[in-house]
Copies of this chain bind each other. A is one copy, B any other.
Amino acid sequence: MFGNTLYAEKIQYALEQASFPSTPDNLYDPIRYMLSLSGKRIRPLLVLLGADLFNINNINDALPASLAIEYFHNFSLIHDDIMDNAPLRRGQVVVHKKWNENIAILSGDALLVKAYEQLASAKAEYIPELLRIFNKLALEVCEGQQYDMDFERIDSVTEDQYIEMIRLKTSVLLGGALEMGAVIADAIPSDRTHICNFGVNLGIAFQLQDDILDIYGDPSTFGKQIGGDIIANKKTILYILLKPKLVEIDDIQEFEKLLTDKDVESDEKVRRMKNLYQKYHVVEEASRLKEKYTHLAYKSLEKIGVNESQKKELYSLADNLMRRTQ
């Protein structure tokens, strides 16, 4: 768990208090199930940390927006899992397999509405602005997911296109969560922009790191199968940086073979793809890109006009996320 234990407990308690109707059970049981799978609850925590940074009087005022963000995240996971045909989420059977696809579509929809219901329970004076930020990020997350699906079928995705996709799909939610906290704490517009940029850039850096850890992570702590992205032919930043560098015919053939030849064993495939990555210094390049966005994140945090000591929690959060080398 990252950050403030008190805040993490507040979020957990609020999630438990915010009960759902018992019927129709096929609509609300999947929601209860999904929320019970827990996850790290980083996103709702960001709302509270955003509010805390600007010295909110009563942190409880930020809980509705915090829950809205967590509900939204879980809604997007339910629907993404259908689209990605994923079997497991957080080690458990996904909603559309435990129930069925129709139920997953509809309970996802209901959970999105429940997110807006949380927003509606914020202090009235903040609702219009919270709603504006939330709508923007929600739409961007949809756009990111669409680009991600589109990219599976496109032959050449550029670095810029990839960064934009992960910005939309995963990072604007972090930036938006922090900014919503800042809004509720009456932060000035320039500080709202800075904290949002902090979250967005940190999110991009984190996603790039996730791509790198696919081949250099520690299997005991990474939480995913090492080399899983290579095995699945996933277009990670490593794949995208490598592809345009391949000019030698042997390497091009090796790359194509690894992507298409089902007879190559998984371990063998991972080993040989790593060789290509090493030959073309792709990991170093991806790491530089990760550093660039990490730096941008810290720069944004620096610019925020509050006392440095007040920023401790956010620095610590960023350090925790980005030092995760295992």
Contacts and interface: CB of A to CB of B under 8 A. Distances in A.
Interface of A: 21, 24, 26-27, 79, 82-83, 101-103, 105-106, 108-110, 112-114, 116-117, 119-120, 124, 127-128, 131-132, 134-135, 138-139, 142-143, 145-147, 149-150
Contacts of A138: 113, 116
Contacts of A109: 79, 108-109, 112, 142
B116 A27 contact: no
Most buried by B among A101, A145, A147: A145
Given A24-B143, A24-B146, A116-B116, A106 B83 contact: yes
Contacts of A113: 112, 135, 138-139, 142
A27 B135 contact: no
The 6 closest A-B pairs by CB, nearest first: A27-B146, A24-B146, A110-B142, A83-B102, A120-B131, A113-B138
Nearest to A144: B24
**What is the oligomeric copy number?**
2
A114 B139 contact: yes
Nearest to A122: B128
Given A24-B146, A79-B106, A109-B112, A139 B120 contact: no
A260 to B, nearest CB: 23
Contacts of A146: 24, 26-27, 103, 106
B112 A135 contact: no
A236 B146 CA distance: 38
A138 B102 CA distance: 17
A21 to B, nearest CB: 8
Given A27-B146, A109-B112, A112-B112, 7 more contacts: A24-B147, A24-B150, A79-B105, A109-B109, A110-B142, A113-B139, A116-B135
A112 B116 CA distance: 11
A102 B24 contact: no
Contacts of A128: 120, 124, 127
